[in-house]
Amino acid sequence: MPDDWQNNNQKKYPLIIVFDRQNSRSHNHIIHTIDYLTASEQMPRAIIISIESDNSRRISEAKSPISSKSGKAHLNEKYLFNEIINLAESKFKASQFRVLIGHSWYGHFTTSMFTKNINNLSAVIVFDPFFKQKNVSLIDSISTLNNIKIKHTKYFRYSIGRDYPEDYRAIEIVKNKNTNSKINIQGTYFPRAFHNAVPGLGIGEALYDIFEYWSIQQYTFFRPSNKRIDLFAELKNNMINHYGNNLDFSLGVLNGKGWGFYNEAEYLKAIKIWNVLINQYPSFSEAYLYIIEAQQQLKLDTSKTKIKFKESLQLSQYYTQEEKKELLSELK
């Protein structure tokens, strides 16, 4: 969970589902990469659900019943959408921005989910997926997406290593023939990378690509040359039109922009930005202290803001009790 998540506010977060948690080496690398990019403000804070499988069962979990009598992909699909995603939304307040990440057989499964449930997913990242099994060609299924009509961009990112050059050539042909501007297909080939090395090599670039548009929007707002408060709403609308879902700007960018205006003596603009920050990150109570500083510079009444600060701090789970005492001591 994001460190600012708490049950007593309605803030929603993107959902990332990672398969094959039992493979601790690649799984931990994927999680750490998400953490790294989030801390670097290259992707928004997200809820992550990792699903463990079993080596004796994972192949049948990913196989279609039309390919094998033991195939349970159709049941796995119901488990994913009816149970896991429902749980994430009802209990953890996940948004409808959903990313699936899968390797090998689960790369095959998540690819099939992209082709079958594209309206219910935002992005899929796959590593060395098996594009073909008996009676199933995901290459053909991906090709048919060229003809569908959708309003928002959907991302399919793949990384393929030395073991599957034919799959790489096949998906590259599909990518190059794709003319659907809303189906964003890109991938990377690692011609000397072994199968189990591919997730570690591909995850960073794939996540960066998916959230590059988000990063561009928020840094367009953050850049020093931007003096327009109203640009925030415009850029947020850009993201909703692009992704089909709201993705909040990072806490650091909003706070930094507030201080940028404050340091230029644009105190009213600073106050507006910090109010936006509080709206998007309700547990970040100290923003009220910054608003009070700006109000004092303008010789405005701070009494109502002080009350809001104390109420927010009492409810916030973002701070330890010691940190709360320290913040209260800063109240002037």
For the chain, the domains span: 13-217, 250-329
pLDDT at residue 332 is higher than 80? no
Domain 13-217 has CATH 3.40.50.1820: yes
Percent pLDDT > 70 in the chain is 100
Contacts of 104 (CB under 8 A, 6+ apart): 20, 127, 128, 129, 130, 195
Tens of pLDDT, residue by residue over 165-175, are 999 999 999 99
CA distance 23 to 20: 6
DSSP H/E element including 281:
none
Residue 135 is predicted with a pLDDT of: 84
Q: Tell me which CATH code domain 250-329 carries.
A: 1.25.40.10
Range list of β-strands (E), 105-241:
123-127, 132-133, 136-137, 154-160, 183-189
Q: What is the mean pLDDT of residues 213-228?
A: 94
Tens of pLDDT, residue by residue over 58-106, are 888 988 888 888 889 899 999 999 999 999 999 999 999 999 999 999 9
Confidence of residue 265 (pLDDT cuts 50, 70, 90): very high
